[in-house]
Structure 1
Amino acid sequence: MKYVNYYSLFCTVMFMIFFSSMVTAQSIVRGSIVDASSNTTIEGASVTMLPSKKTAISDALGTFSFKTDKSSDVSFVVTSLGHKAATVTLKDFKDSNNSIRLVTQSMSLKDITISAHAGEQYKSISKVDIAMRGVNNSQEILRIIPGIVIGQHQGGGKAEQIFLRGFDADHGTDFREEVDGLPVNMVSHAHGQGYADTHFIIPETIDNVDFKKGPYTASKGDFATTGFVDFNTRNFLKQNMVKVEAGQFNTYRLMTMFNLLNEKATANQQSWYVASEYRYSDAYFDNPQHFKRFNLFTKYNGKISKHSYLNMSATTFWSKWDASGQIPDRAVNKGIIGFYGALDPFEGGLTYRTNFNVQLLTSLNNGDVIKNQLYYSNTHFDLHTNFTFFLVDTANGDEIRQKESRNLMGYNGSYVHTGYLGNNRLNTELGVQVRNDLTNNSGLSHTKDRYITLNQIKLGDVSELSVSPYVSETLKFNEHFSINAGLRFDQFFYQYKNKLASDTTLPGAGTYNTNAHTVSPKLNIYYHANQALQFYLTSGKGFHSNDTRSAVINNAAFALPSAYSADIGSVFKPANNIIVNVAAWYIYLQQENVYSGDGGFVEFSGNTRRVGFDFSGRYEPVKSLYFDVDVNYARGRAAGNAKGADYIPLAPVWTSSAGLTYTNKNGFNGSFRYRFVGDRPANENYSLTAKGYFITDAVLNYTKPKYEIGLVVNNVFNTKWKETQFDTETRLKGEAQSVNEVCFTPGTPFAFKAGFTYFFK
């Protein structure tokens, strides 16, 4: 209760600030920042007035504004990662139509300054990481985020299992993912709540990554318990490219990216390109995976009027595969199958997704920005798995099929206003998000040999609508201190049309409705000592939604379990070529009623508490070397359980990743990286252990203006390791008794892949 009262006080302060925010300054300097080569706007550039040292950050349209005393300020400096700094005198800066063109250059840690603006501490690190390290495959997309551990237990076809801050977030239940504002997580999914499959993203199309740990951002609601990530794709393609890759285990990939408009269009701030990808692999399993995936992506970005930009993209993705699934330790120990073997060769799946995304950004004469976004996705999911083998059906086996078709549509709108309280900058963001998910024949069935249906367990249509208004206020008192307060309201409307009279979790066939809502306050405080040191205290209430089938069964009880979290940390540069981010954090999760897509029932669990710390360091000893390291610790316990029986299954304790990247003007570049996960409990009393691993990977490239030759080596030292692990009760064919033990999916052995890329205009 004290926690709620604490937030009520600060939410009152936030609204007082909001009503004062309409007071605007009399002396305003406004301008815009664009990239000189692509003629596209630059978001996140830092502008510093001189000699007052007031700062501003360019918005999504590349615009910035200052309230300034023109009698004292004479110039300002503009800096942006990957660009040369520019100094502009106010004398030459006469009206709001002025634009500053920045010339591109290679990125370097020395160009990073610790931003005086709230919440900017993560963006610079992610930009440098992507520029230095690159993204070599779809799994690397998530690994670019410090502290993230991912695991694949279908060999590449299914969404990755996500671990962060002591959470086994399954396939996205406690981690929010977006691409250009388009939601990736799927509510009330046939396989699991929050299912987030990022395989429709072509890695080469990613421009930057916006992420933050914790539920501290008002514009990010459902699933952002441990944090969120928004992958931002390129608005402009500098050059066309064709990439061909081939490797072990019959692995092949062809990727192309082409501009569809000429240089004249670029000069008029118009860009349109298309990218495609096809991949095939049998993978390293004894049962060949026959994995096939096709991606097609196109994006248009252009200035359509003096104050408006239109951004449109479309994606289609198709994937099909066979899988080895999870296998019990004893099946390997007894020699029934090998370490890379399979007990049910009929596991596998088929999935596809098509997206349309339209964004319109408009700036008003006073510098305010309005953003409107409409999106639509059509998805299909069909998965065959067998976790327990012959535990229930000793004759036919326990293979299951999870299937759904979905239409997802939504709207994101926001209005950003910059005002002043005296000389103190006040940014106000008002927004609303509307999302509607409609599934058809979401089902769970008992099958045999993939194509034979033995009986239907669940079958129905899901309709889930959420409406979420929010407000976020950021007051910058001076160049050292700022405070952000946010408030979010989420209303959910659930409907489930049960088509199966034999479903024992509901009274019978028919339509069931319920609704739920939650309020999520946020409070974040930043102290900016100088351009090399910042301290912050972030806090907030978040949540993850639970499945519609869980909500209607329990009449919305714990449909939106709350998460209370806080971070205290610092970002600092002890030297010009070193940047460090450290944070201690706490998360309390109220309750979970999680619908099990594998069993068709609701799994009950109580509240949990987690504490830990994160460390991220980046070091550039010389211009050609870049070292990054992330170390993370989490201690999680079930709050209501007796000591010794309160472990959280599969919750990571120690995780770490690091790498050394080398670049050379002669063309040679490469990296050597490791991934580490420590041992962790596989069940509540830690009688079973999920074994940790230490894996190393290497990349070597020879890059010239017209081409690149590359080699990627996974698991350099051929370590035998278990990528995903579960405590599962299983029975093998012919066994009289079932056994509880660790079941696992093996990780990749030593594997190499070579590639050739051709660049052209």
Structure 2
Amino acid sequence: MKYLYLVFLGLLILQKASAQNLSGKITGERALPLQGVYLFNLRTGNHAHTDESGLYLLKNNKPGDSIKVSHVGYQAIIIAYKQSTLNMQLATSLFQLNEVIVSEGINHLSSVSAVDVQTNPVNSSQELLRRVPGLFIGQHAGGGKAEQLFLRGFDLDHGTDINITVDDMPVNMVSHGHGQGYADLHFVIPETVGQVDFDKGPYHAAKGNLATAGYVAFSTKDRLDNSSVTFETGKFNTYKTLGLFNLLNTKKQAAYVAVDYLRTDNYFEAPQDFTRLNLFGKYTLNFANADKLTVSASYFNSKWDASGQIPQRAVDEGLITRFGAIDSKEGGETSRSNVNLHYNKYFNSSTWLKSSAFYSRYNFELYSNFTFFLNDPVNGDQIRQKENRNIAGFESVLNKVYRLANTDITIQAGTGLRYDDVNNIELSHTANRSTTLQNMMLGDVNETNTYGFLNTEIEMGKLMINPALRFDHLNFKYADHLLAGSPAASDGKAILSPKLNFLYNQSKDLQFFLKLGKGFHSNDTRVVVAQQGYKILPAAYGADLGTTWKPAPRLILNAALWYLYLQQEFVYVGDEGVVEPSGRTARKGIDLGLRYQLTNWLFLNGDATYTHARALDEAKGEDYIPLAPRFTFTGGLSVKQLGKFSGSIRSRYLASRPANEDNSITAKSYFITDANVNYTWKRFTFGIVTENIFNTAWNETQFATTSRLQNEAAPVTEIHFTPGTPFNIKGLITVKF
């Protein structure tokens, strides 16, 4: 028996000795490191990914093992394991869906994002947000105001329950003059965006305030493939010029600038005279030891007039057309300047540190009139919302990987701070955008968010367990200028947000997940002070159960059942300067998605969502959540590199939904189809972009509002809407050099 044991032990040691690790670096064009390359041992099923430096470690290989190496947009290869160290360079190729791996980590939507970025180029900053399956947007103030957002049974207003970042810099404005979490993404030039990361629910420790329905994280490109100039023109006196200019593009350094200018009158009867200027520059330095430094800066400014939301009765009675206005003096001006710094310190293949810091200067002025002559029959109810803001922050995240015999443990420990200094945040009653009739609210806001998080990924063969914990402390301070001699009031609170996610990779083509997490969104500083700190940080509790499956080489399916519960919260209504309490809410639903490559050049995609949303503290029949989407669908066909042609046709459907608590007023559904086609000849690309190709009459945003027209004796509560674009067509030409 003793000898049998020794023989068995010897065989085990011999087996372990013969199983060796494979490590190295994988690069792409210009010998630059490739992140996210997937390595898969066809015999054992073991897999690995390259990090930001292109480095990888694939465990337990034997001589003769076949290892597949693949990355989206690059030619896949199969190598035979012969040595413990191997550096590789992949060649670019046409995008093929069969190269996409669904087992990509705890974010089950990463494979979907990779497909969409490759097959559906965007034409505007608004379309960037439509990358998120089930996320709908609506513009109701002339194109210069941040869009209204809808996701998972939320009317997110302009960003209250979705965390949006660009290069780790927050887009959302907390305690904003118009609404909590206001997220104006118009400072981003879409052609500079290289990656879109998103997920739904409060399951990620690195995402804090406002990440309840989900998050969207955009990353700009480190370098351009080439320089280009684009000229675009279309209906409604629309003109656009875009320039992308390479300044440096070597293995070690890259630098480019982008300039984007847009001018349009839009489709309303009162010309919007909308102008927008975007400037962006980025410099990247890759060090010999794999460290990386990036510095970027941007400037954005826009001005516009707006027709606002109009009452349905004014159209029905023939007072105005669908594209008319009750108060054509709405509009505004906004600007944002950003400086962003990133430094990645690489210690070894298992340890690296990512640090970032940013500063933003933000100005905002908006004129609106939602109720017309309800409160002031003489001058009207026009209001001005205005603020000047400085934002500064930093974040540092240490990544450490422990590689044991059969288990990999990845730990991320992060800490950071965000500080908002808002001066003269204002809500005033005005007339004709020139006369201030009354200051309704005026003061200064200081809000500080310090945080830390610990994220752990324990990978044991096919199973990954992801326990995580986040700590946030927020301090609120408000100085009311309308209370002479009154000292600034302040309050603060801390919150712990635990997360626990499970991911099971049955194979490289089948993944199951269970996600559990707590998140929160902070209330407006003025609410916190007014309520003396009560319900400062209402929590959200979520759960997702689902799968991502690749049943065929060119087909990806994803599905999720989910539930989200929110505690009671107080909401500051910036349009009226009042605090409205709302009770507990519960939302549950199902998400379905499909990505299919029909031929080498034709791609089909579709996403459908169903949501049941209710207020828990209201009587049945009076518990509807206004404007909560019930059913949504987006889908279409994309043509990629059919000879010299490319293009797409895409549709979106938003079902009718309750506009008030008892569902007596309904926001109408719409189904809209857009299309574009491009032809490339040598250095030139010619394109045609069309919107609403069937010229459907639809309402882009809708609200149940009480208003009174000048000739009315009594107010009326009904749907007020902003009409969506009629048929629109634009032509463009791009020259690359």
User: What is the TM-score with the length of structure 1 in the denominator?
Assistant: 0.92
Query: Aligned equivalents of 1:175 and 1:73: distance in 2?
Result: 49
| Contact 2:20-2:84 within 8 A present in 1 as well | no
% same residue: 45
**CA positional deviation for 1:49:** 4.0
Query: Aligned equivalents of 2:643 and 2:404: distance in 1?
Result: 54
| Contact 2:63-2:81 within 8 A present in 1 as well | no
Q: Which amino acid aligns with 1:643?
A: K
Q: What SS does the corresponding residue of 1:732 show, helix, strand or coil?
A: coil
Indicate how the Cα distance of structure 1 residues 305 and 601 shifts in structure 2: closer, same or farther if over 3 A, else same: farther
Q: Which of 641, 645, 648 matches 1:668? A: 645
Q: Which amino acid aligns with 1:645?
A: E
| Contact 1:431-1:471 within 8 A present in 2 as well | yes
Query: Aligned equivalents of 1:105 and 1:705: distance in 2?
Result: 19
Greater mean alpha carbon deviation, residues 80-89 or residues 572-581: 80-89
Q: Which amino acid aligns with 2:314?
A: A
Query: Aligned equivalents of 1:100 and 1:204: distance in 2?
Result: 29
Deviations 1:589-647, CA, capped at 9 Å, x for gaps: 11221111111121110010011001110111111210100111101000011110000
**CA positional deviation for 1:741:** 0.6
Whether 1:358 aligns to 2:345 is no
Please list, as runs of the form range in 1=range in 2, the aligned pairs for 1:245-644 lying within 5 A after superposition.
Answer: 245-262=232-249, 266-267=250-251, 269-478=252-461, 480-501=462-483, 509-644=486-621
Q: What SS does the corresponding residue of 2:488 show, helix, strand or coil?
A: strand
Q: What SS does the corresponding residue of 2:271 show, helix, strand or coil?
A: coil
Q: What SS does the corresponding residue of 1:217 show, helix, strand or coil?
A: coil
Query: Aligned equivalents of 1:661 and 1:366: distance in 2?
Result: 39
Whether 1:64 aligns to 2:64 is no
Indicate how the Cα distance of structure 1 residues 27 and 509 shifts in structure 2: closer, same or farther if over 3 A, else same: farther
Q: Which amino acid aligns with 2:649?
A: F
**CA positional deviation for 1:75:** 6.4
| Contact 1:384-1:399 within 8 A present in 2 as well | yes
Query: Aligned equivalents of 2:359 and 2:54: distance in 1?
Result: 27
Whether 1:35 aligns to 2:35 is no
**CA positional deviation for 1:532:** 1.6
| Contact 1:430-1:470 within 8 A present in 2 as well | yes
Partner of 1:114: 102
Q: What SS does the corresponding residue of 2:694 show, helix, strand or coil?
A: coil
**CA positional deviation for 1:53:** 3.0
Deviations 1:352-404, CA, capped at 9 Å, x for gaps: 00011110011113531100101111100000000011111111111000000
Deviations 1:694-717, CA, capped at 9 Å, x for gaps: 111111111234111000110011
**CA positional deviation for 1:728:** 0.6
Query: Aligned equivalents of 1:531 and 1:28: distance in 2?
Result: 20
Query: Aligned equivalents of 2:306 and 2:60: distance in 1?
Result: 66
Query: Aligned equivalents of 2:84 and 2:62: distance in 1?
Result: 14
For the aligned residues, what is the CA RMSD? 1.6
Q: Which amino acid aligns with 1:647?
A: Y
Indicate how the Cα distance of structure 1 residues 706 and 644 shifts in structure 2: closer, same or farther if over 3 A, else same: same
**CA positional deviation for 1:446:** 0.5
Partner of 1:81: 72
| Contact 2:560-2:592 within 8 A present in 1 as well | yes
Q: Which of 164, 168, 179 matches 1:192? A: 179
Whether 1:729 aligns to 2:721 is no
**CA positional deviation for 1:433:** 1.9
Query: Aligned equivalents of 1:190 and 1:40: distance in 2?
Result: 44
Query: Aligned equivalents of 1:662 and 1:28: distance in 2?
Result: 41
Whether 1:225 aligns to 2:230 is no
| Contact 1:61-1:361 within 8 A present in 2 as well | no
Deviations 1:324-350, CA, capped at 9 Å, x for gaps: 100111111111111111111110000
Partner of 1:135: 122
Q: Which amino acid aligns with 1:596?
A: V
Whether 1:242 aligns to 2:229 is yes
Partner of 1:10: none
Q: Which amino acid aligns with 2:403?
A: Y
Deviations 1:256-288, CA, capped at 9 Å, x for gaps: 0010015xxx13x21101111000000000111
User: What is the TM-score with the length of structure 2 in the denominator?
Assistant: 0.95
Indicate how the Cα distance of structure 1 residues 93 and 477 shifts in structure 2: closer, same or farther if over 3 A, else same: closer
Query: Aligned equivalents of 1:72 and 1:40: distance in 2?
Result: 29
**CA positional deviation for 1:48:** 2.5
Greater mean alpha carbon deviation, residues 306-315 or residues 629-638: 306-315
Query: Aligned equivalents of 1:237 and 1:689: distance in 2?
Result: 47
Query: Aligned equivalents of 1:29 and 1:377: distance in 2?
Result: 44
Q: Which amino acid aligns with 1:191?
A: H
Greater mean alpha carbon deviation, residues 622-631 or residues 300-309: 300-309
Q: Which of 129, 139, 155 matches 1:152? A: 139
Deviations 1:564-604, CA, capped at 9 Å, x for gaps: 01111110012111101111110001122111111112111
Partner of 1:102: 90
**CA positional deviation for 1:421:** 4.4
**CA positional deviation for 1:28:** 6.0
Greater mean alpha carbon deviation, residues 76-85 or residues 566-575: 76-85
**CA positional deviation for 1:497:** 1.2
Unmatched segments (≥5 aa) in structure 2: 1-18
Query: Aligned equivalents of 1:88 and 1:273: distance in 2?
Result: 37
Whether 1:744 aligns to 2:709 is no
Q: Which amino acid aligns with 1:602?
A: V
Query: Aligned equivalents of 1:738 and 1:136: distance in 2?
Result: 41
Q: What SS does the corresponding residue of 1:552 show, helix, strand or coil?
A: helix
What count of residue pairs does the alignment treat as equivalent? 719
Q: What SS does the corresponding residue of 2:390 show, helix, strand or coil?
A: strand
Query: Aligned equivalents of 1:371 and 1:113: distance in 2?
Result: 26
| Contact 2:199-2:214 within 8 A present in 1 as well | yes
Greater mean alpha carbon deviation, residues 41-50 or residues 733-742: 41-50
Q: Which amino acid aligns with 1:660?
A: L
Partner of 1:182: 169
Q: What SS does the corresponding residue of 1:261 show, helix, strand or coil?
A: strand
Q: Which amino acid aligns with 1:541?
A: K
Whether 1:679 aligns to 2:672 is no
Q: Which amino acid aligns with 1:337?
A: I
Query: Aligned equivalents of 2:392 and 2:238: distance in 1?
Result: 35
Query: Aligned equivalents of 1:146 and 1:609: distance in 2?
Result: 21
Query: Aligned equivalents of 2:436 and 2:323: distance in 1?
Result: 28
| Contact 1:151-1:162 within 8 A present in 2 as well | yes
Query: Aligned equivalents of 1:591 and 1:89: distance in 2?
Result: 59
Unmatched segments (≥5 aa) in structure 1: 1-25, 503-507
| Contact 1:668-1:703 within 8 A present in 2 as well | yes
Indicate how the Cα distance of structure 1 residues 664 and 105 shifts in structure 2: closer, same or farther if over 3 A, else same: closer
| Contact 2:45-2:507 within 8 A present in 1 as well | no
Greater mean alpha carbon deviation, residues 46-55 or residues 520-529: 46-55
| Contact 2:21-2:84 within 8 A present in 1 as well | no
**CA positional deviation for 1:27:** 7.5
Whether 1:658 aligns to 2:635 is yes
Partner of 1:5: none
**CA positional deviation for 1:103:** 1.4
